[in-house]
Chains A and B, each alone.
Chain A
Amino acid sequence: MNLQKPGLTLYGLFIVMAFLAAAALLLGVAVSSILVVLLIYAALAYSINFITGMMGYVDFGHVLFMAIGSYALATLVSYYGANPLLGVGAGAVLGLVFAFGIGLVILRFRGVYFAIATVVLVLAAYNIVLQLPQLGTGGEIIFNRPLQPLAPYFTIWTIVMIEIALTYYVNRSRIGFGIRAIKSEEDAASSVGVSPQRLKLIGYMLGGLFGGAAGAVYSWSTSGVTAGPAFDFTFSLLMLAMIIIGGVGSSIGPLLGAVVVYIPSYFLLTSVSQAQPLIIGLLVIIMALFLPDGVVGLLRRSNDRLRLVLE
């Protein structure tokens, strides 16, 4: 593996992102309002990839960070008339801070216990939000802003670009080696000098940071937030599905997974709305049981050249 220059994967990803930028600029509002959701999905996938894909800690409760970001932006824009970009920044910072605090406690739990703890936190947060009148009745906050689809679009576009670069860098750097070691054998990793506490917290905080940012953009693009959908575990399922389908831990995986998951669900939105989690659920079951390393894993195993190129 040549570690000096960035490989084809990174260039490929940047080219795809360039297309997405061009498409939004040239093809008008209709297209960018579809693509903005794709990019939000991708951003969420990259964020959960840090925690679950790279570190192997299954974060069922990742929707929590998305909700934090959503509420951060919604309160700032709705109650204080702030610029949405500030809301996105707030979402990111709050996501980071909450991840730090929560991570200190729950990252000591392994496997299933960690996964359940994340679920418990979401449920508790949901119930608490419903009790807080500052966050709207029934946790609903709506705002009205002039229609400006390109602003959220390029915000989330930038966020995804940063995530791609960061994911790519982490995978190839010293930190990546440490994280992969933790994913495989956490105790053996300590015995060669890796500090699991530190690396796990870093990974979890990255997940919180970008999850919060993506959640903020989501509420920006939907002009509001409601408690029920904000804490919906279907989002967690979507995020897990995207990285499982794409290939956990990889740099391409989350974007690939987002495309696979989003494109069909856009067309399905016109039919039964319950069908989306149904099909995604089925897809996750099949992928998890038969293709646990995703499309990227499959391609890498099938061809030696692809194995060297796809990251």
Chain B
Amino acid sequence: MKDVSLDLPESAVLGLIGPNGSGKSTLLNVIAGVDKPTSGIVKLDSKRIDNLRTNRVVRYGLAKTHQIPKPFSNMTARENVAVAVLYGRRNIHSPSSALQEAERTLSLVGMGSRNDAPAGNLTVQEKKKLELARAIATGASVLLLDEVFAGLSPEELKDSIQLFKKLHEELHFSALVVEHVMRAVLSLSQKVMVLEEGRVIATGSPDEIVHDEKVIQAYLGSKNPAT
């Protein structure tokens, strides 16, 4: 990545798009502390976090989901979320309280009926919701979402977008949403940033981005043969 800088205000949703290999996931990994930046810094509420490990970053209120869901398959859905409650920044250390909180969070994301399901048996969409529930349950105020809308049917997509809007209204988190699914990004973000080969090639409102020449070129190749 080269010269990427961004600013995420409170409660804002920033969409991050770009062709494959443009560095979107890398950017998320660097912010979340999974990878170290070779240069540059990351600040959360004016505290520097780029030199911190992922679990410390969570304590400061930033949580990231995984592109390919990684549920704890030796536990139920409720227990999965309970881990997040116990180890996030909520200072809840009692397992029984954590399990109750976990139930609450799971019903928030619409998984109330799956509390006792072994996490390994969940459907793909449910696993993605579990990722989201875990991230929220840590008490994070900043969420980094890595392609949570990928691989969903049109019906599931509609539900997920609705769910996200509802959650955002209730919880007021700020979010960096990496996506390929345009419908999701454009309807949920206030601002969109476009990466190509590690560089930022455009930022702006969803509407501006959709009409930006550089963005169209990046996605379609050199010149649109139709024009």
Do A and B touch, yes or no (CB under 8 Å, in the complex)? yes
Interface residues, chain A, with chain B CB atoms under 8 Å away: 3-4, 172-174, 176-178, 180-181, 183-185, 187-196
Contact B72 A190 (CB under 8 A): no
Alpha-carbon separation in the docked complex, A176 to B98 (Å): 13
- Kindly list chain B residues whose C-beta atoms are within 8 Å of the C-beta of A4: 96
Contact A184 B75 (CB under 8 A): yes
Stretch with Cβ within 8 A of A (4 or more), from B35-43, B85-93, B166-174, B196-204: B85-93
- Kindly list chain A residues whose C-beta atoms are within 8 Å of the C-beta of B95: 3, 172-174, 176-177
Interface residues on B, range: 20 to 34
Contact A193 B55 (CB under 8 A): yes
Contact A177 B83 (CB under 8 A): yes
Given A191-B54, A191-B63, A192-B58, is A178 in contact with B75 using a C-beta cutoff of 8 Å? no
Alpha-carbon separation in the docked complex, A85 to B82 (Å): 42
- Kindly list chain B residues whose C-beta atoms are within 8 Å of the C-beta of A187: 34, 70
- Kindly list chain A residues whose C-beta atoms are within 8 Å of the C-beta of B87: 174, 177-178, 192-195
Contact A174 B70 (CB under 8 A): no
Contact A177 B82 (CB under 8 A): yes
| Distance to closest chain B CB from A251 (angstroms) | 15
- Kindly list chain B residues whose C-beta atoms are within 8 Å of the C-beta of A181: 72, 75, 83
Which of A3, A190, A192, A196 has most chain B Cβ within 10 Å?
A192
Alpha-carbon separation in the docked complex, A35 to B65 (Å): 51
Given A4-B96, A177-B95, is A190 in contact with B63 using a C-beta cutoff of 8 Å? no
Given A181-B72, A184-B72, is A192 in contact with B84 using a C-beta cutoff of 8 Å? yes
Which of B59, B86, B135 has most chain A Cβ within 10 Å?
B86
Contact A192 B70 (CB under 8 A): no
Alpha-carbon separation in the docked complex, A191 to B64 (Å): 7
What 3 pairs between A and B have smallest CB-CB spacing?
A: A193-B87, A188-B70, A193-B58
